[in-house]
Structure 1
Amino acid sequence: MTRPLPYGRQFIDDDDIAAVVAALKSDCLTTGPAVTAFEAALAKVTEVADAVVCSSGTAALHLAALALDLGPGDAVIVPSVTFVATANAARYVGGEVVFADVDPATGLMGSEHLEEALRRCGGLVPKAVFPVHLNGQCVAMKALSEAARRHGLAVVEDACHALGSRQGEAATGACAWSDMAVFSFHPVKTVAMGEGGAVTTGDARLAERLRLLRSHGITRDPDGFLQPDEAFDAEGRPNPWYYEMASPGFNYRASDLSCALGTSQLAKLDRFMARRAQLVAAYDRALAPLAPRVVPVGRAADGVPSWHIQVVLIDFAACGTTRAKVMRGLAERGISTQVHYLPVHRQPYYRGRSPGLSLPGADAYYDRCLTLPLFYGMEDDEVERVVRELGRVLS
């Protein structure tokens, strides 16, 4: 009997379970040593000075926007093909989103898309760009960063799809061409910790600010105290109970349970990536007979991807069908699919803020994209099954 195939799912091994059990039996369920251990492991994987873990990828994006002091009147350039959280992070702090177009074959923004978006900023002050690595492939960061720096923009990589990928000699997350990079550890990601996120940075000042903001804005560091009469006793020693909040932050902490799972999962990242690459290669071979009406997502020119999802581009009109019919037909055969993503500029909230905006590359990518199953525990013959059933549904 064939098993149902989700478009993505976590892989949990016995050592993952043991790591969580050990955390449960420890003295700390949150803000303990497992958090510090995960941050150290992630910093090593991403080859960066600091990794700051938090409760989700969305929280990580919000923290990055806060750390940059973005606010009302500031423009943040965001590619339209992404999850809504990338754009929402700018709105959380009062900034305005200016959407950039993308390459219709890869879904990735380039420096030319950044330049075009900047010309549409009007009276806003461009402050930052949040390029998005999509499906496991990376934006050409060197060229994009050079363009961003010419305009005085901060750069925050949304790398939620790309843990383990490389851009030239640099690991994604090393921030070789950015101020910060943001990751997600949702269950469909390559590495899962239930819910969780992180920001990596090579800037110690930003790392300190991120840690402050993720925990209510509270500091217990005597060197940072602003009220000496409250903070210190008559001998000048810090009062043992004392902490300060100079400005509000958020409760975006990650638990030791999540971080214990995350650290165990990170140890398997190379194995996860290698198997996903094998499955993507199997898809490439199996899809070849369906070309040109069905093709794998375009390949980025540079870098080594860490595949997160398997996206194909389908000419639905040429096949005489619609995406909805294809998705329903595959679901009837036990194969779940998804769409990544409806361009964010077409969401009601943003359509109302940017009426009439046309981004032809984003629209062309969206019109054809479909996400097929891809996960570590998938078998080669299941790839063949997915493509075989796809062909049947299309015909």
Structure 2
Amino acid sequence: MKSIPYGRQTITEDDIKAVVDVLQSDFLTQGPHISTFEQKFAEYVGSKYAVAVSNGTAALHLCALALGVDEKTRVITTPITFAASANCIKYCGGEVYFADIDPKTFLLDINKVKELIESKPKGYFHGIIPVDFAGNAVNLEEFKKLADEHNLWIVEDACHAPGGFFKDSHNIDQYCGNGNFADLSIFSFHPVKHIATGEGGMITTNSKDLFDKLTLLRTHGITKNATEFKNSQETVAQGPWYYEMQTLGYNYRLTDFQAALGVSQLTRANDNLSRRRELAKRYDEAFKNSTVATPISVEGNAYHLYVIKVKNRLALYEHLRSNQIFAQVHYVPVHLMPYYQEQGFKKGDFPLAEAYYDECLSLPMYQSLTEQDQQFVIDTVLSFTER
């Protein structure tokens, strides 16, 4: 029996050719395909700048560094996300706070965030990291108003949502990562994501200052731009070979062959997104009269995941696996991880997130999923849940 995973990359002959061409070229890393990928991705999401990095976690870490997160920094995020959304603050010594989710969208609840902010003295918090969970875009216009009121920055974790958007107050599509409301946005190119490069990530912004900091931080804090040198010739001999490490940075670079794969995948991004939305619509229709709870359907959802809620989640999970359908759970609430429990969080702190976790299950969702395989998934779910 053929197995059906919850997510899968699609690699075409054009993708393979793009990678092979780079492997046969002079540059495997730090070559011309990096800037090409950055430019094309910025155009895709509508931002001014994009910085390619080694993965989504590196992207989050660099955002925290560029924003000056340190041991005095306090940041709010959602417990329903991958741990990296919170960990990036801890990497820099900062303090993480969680706010509960909206049970209808599974997204960070702005009202809970507002309550948390107002429960502390003015100036207590410094930033918010909303997550476009499962591909459903956070309404960043609303978060921006709240952030401006309290002088907070916003980092949008858009790993699940390239091509996703929300409707603003003027009914304009605001695409994830366009920089109109968030200071920085980050994306991941892990194989199960819309655009796959194996590993890899991207940061987008409309701030030239943040862009410059990010490009320095991702390459050991080193610059080769003579106009930016701080040393004089009297201090150290300089020539075409000269470079300066001006801050403590990291090696968070992307390779050229990954970038070439990303550029090739970008050419199909809109088609792939349309296919995901078609699959989601079929799931919606199939489950509308069942006991299966489906995600709220919004126009701009990028559907990285298709999450259902069922009362007997473990039994259904095992039933699907017995039929070679490898559904997954996204995510174990971050505040219940032992590391964060050691920070003082405990079960019962965020009841809506915990209730979501007790019933959530991610069904197969990827652009190459055939209608026949999807129907098998649907039939298998319904045959079990309607018993």
* TM tier, smaller: over 0.9
C-alpha contact 2:122 2:150 (8 A) present in aligned 1: no
Match of 1:341 among 322, 331, 336: 331
For 1:366, the equivalent position in structure 2 comes to 357
Match of 1:311 among 298, 307, 314: 307
CA distance in 2, matches of 1:120, 1:96: 16
SS at match of 2:210: helix
CA distance in 1, matches of 2:30, 2:135: 30
For 2:242, the equivalent position in structure 1 comes to 242
Offset at 1:129? 0.5
Report the CA distance shift for 1:228/1:164 in structure 2 as closer, same or farther (over 3 A).
same
SS at match of 1:98: strand
- Partner amino acid for 2:339? Y
1:49-128 matched pairs, under 5 angstroms: 49-119=48-118, 125-128=124-127
CA distance in 1, matches of 2:234, 2:248: 19
Offset at 1:93? 0.5
1:1-395 matched pairs, under 5 angstroms: 2-119=1-118, 125-168=124-167, 169-229=173-233, 238-290=238-290, 293-299=291-297, 304-316=300-312, 323-356=313-346, 358-394=349-385, 395=387
SS at match of 1:170: strand
Report the CA distance shift for 1:226/1:381 in structure 2 as closer, same or farther (over 3 A).
same
CA distance in 2, matches of 1:210, 1:253: 11
C-alpha contact 1:231 1:239 (8 A) present in aligned 2: no
Q: For each residue in 1:57-98, what CA deviation from the matched residue of structure 2 results, as whole angstroms up to 9, or x when unmatched?
A: 000000000000010021011111100000000000010000
Identity %: 39
For 1:320, the equivalent position in structure 2 comes to none
Give structure 1 stretches of 5+ with no counterpart: 317-322
Offset at 1:256? 0.3
Offset at 1:116? 2.2
CA distance in 2, matches of 1:173, 1:55: 18
Offset at 1:110? 3.1
Report the CA distance shift for 1:121/1:94 in structure 2 as closer, same or farther (over 3 A).
farther
C-alpha contact 1:75 1:124 (8 A) present in aligned 2: no
Offset at 1:232? 7.0
Offset at 1:294? 0.7
For 2:170, the equivalent position in structure 1 comes to none
Offset at 1:117? 2.7
Offset at 1:326? 1.7
Offset at 1:324? 2.2
CA distance in 2, matches of 1:311, 1:190: 16
Larger mean CA deviation between 306-315 and 354-363 belongs to 354-363
CA distance in 1, matches of 2:91, 2:124: 17
CA distance in 1, matches of 2:166, 2:224: 38
Question: TM-score when scaled to structure 1?
Answer: 0.93
Offset at 1:315? 2.5
C-alpha contact 1:183 1:197 (8 A) present in aligned 2: yes
Larger mean CA deviation between 114-123 and 273-282 belongs to 114-123
Offset at 1:308? 0.6
C-alpha contact 1:165 1:171 (8 A) present in aligned 2: yes
Question: TM-score when scaled to structure 2?
Answer: 0.94
Offset at 1:391? 2.2
- Partner amino acid for 1:281? K
CA distance in 1, matches of 2:234, 2:323: 67
C-alpha contact 1:311 1:371 (8 A) present in aligned 2: yes
Offset at 1:191? 0.8
SS at match of 2:51: strand
Larger mean CA deviation between 144-153 and 354-363 belongs to 354-363
SS at match of 1:173: coil
CA distance in 2, matches of 1:124, 1:92: 22
- Partner amino acid for 2:384? V
CA distance in 1, matches of 2:119, 2:16: 50
Offset at 1:304? 1.1
- Partner amino acid for 2:302? S
CA distance in 2, matches of 1:52, 1:151: 28
Offset at 1:361? 1.8
Offset at 1:120? 5.3
CA distance in 2, matches of 1:154, 1:288: 39
**Equivalent residue pairs, number:** 380
Give structure 2 stretches of 5+ with no counterpart: 168-172
- Partner amino acid for 2:323? R
C-alpha contact 1:190 1:308 (8 A) present in aligned 2: yes
Offset at 1:204? 0.6
Larger mean CA deviation between 112-121 and 220-229 belongs to 112-121
Larger mean CA deviation between 324-333 and 15-24 belongs to 324-333
